[in-house]
Structure 1
Amino acid sequence: MQHWLVKSEPFKYSWEKFNKDGRTFWDGVRNYQARNNLREMKEGDLVLFYHSNEGKEIVGIAKVVKEAYQDPTTDDTNWVVVDLSPVEALKTPVTLEQIKADPQLQDIGLVRQGRLSVMGVKREEFDHILALGSK
């Protein structure tokens, strides 16, 4: 199993809306590296859901329920989506400020490649974030 992080601006698609929907396809990715990450996602992989711009915090866990397929919002075959469904909210959101200050998370993609919207997360980083979010 691999672990991932996806970003969404809450005013566009919030964790609350995601939970209400129960499932969504992750569209709008127009960066090649992020697209390649979507292509690598496998059914059952776990995904951290990050509110970008407003909040700047990891708020929940999702899982991949359908692997990459053509993005239905464009005819351009370069772009793909995956289907995600919510698993659970973190008890306490983990802020970007906390992540940047945590020595165990200094190498996480969220800090190193802050503008990338879909990124891999190491198992140790994922577990550490879950521990921080359970407090």
Structure 2
Amino acid sequence: MKSKILTVFSAIFGLLLLNSGLDKHFHYMPIPEGLPEEVVKDNAAFMEIGWLLPLIGLAEIIGGLLIIFPKTRALGALIVFPVMVGVLLTHILVAPEGLPVVLVIWAILIWIIIDNWRKYLPLIGK
């Protein structure tokens, strides 16, 4: 039962990442009204660095696809981890109103990492 719940949450998380990554390339989602000024400034800075948003989007697309499938979920979690650190820090420091949703997403990511812990041991020499 626990593994089925994780599979459902992982699929939702993977699809969320896939959607976010695709939007960074195709810009099909409207920008929400009333964003904090610092978020707008941060996004403008990302746009100035022309290669950064496509790179983040690519990591989200690849990581999201890998997280959807149980066999590749551990690798997907490693790929999206740095992106998710940025999302968490943004919501802690700049836009705390979105923090509850980010914490739920982080709980899913941590669950995926814990569930795949044995696969990571060779990376740290164990």
Q: TM-score, normalised by structure 2?
A: 0.30
Higher helix proportion (structure 1 or 2): 2
Q: TM-score, normalised by structure 1?
A: 0.29
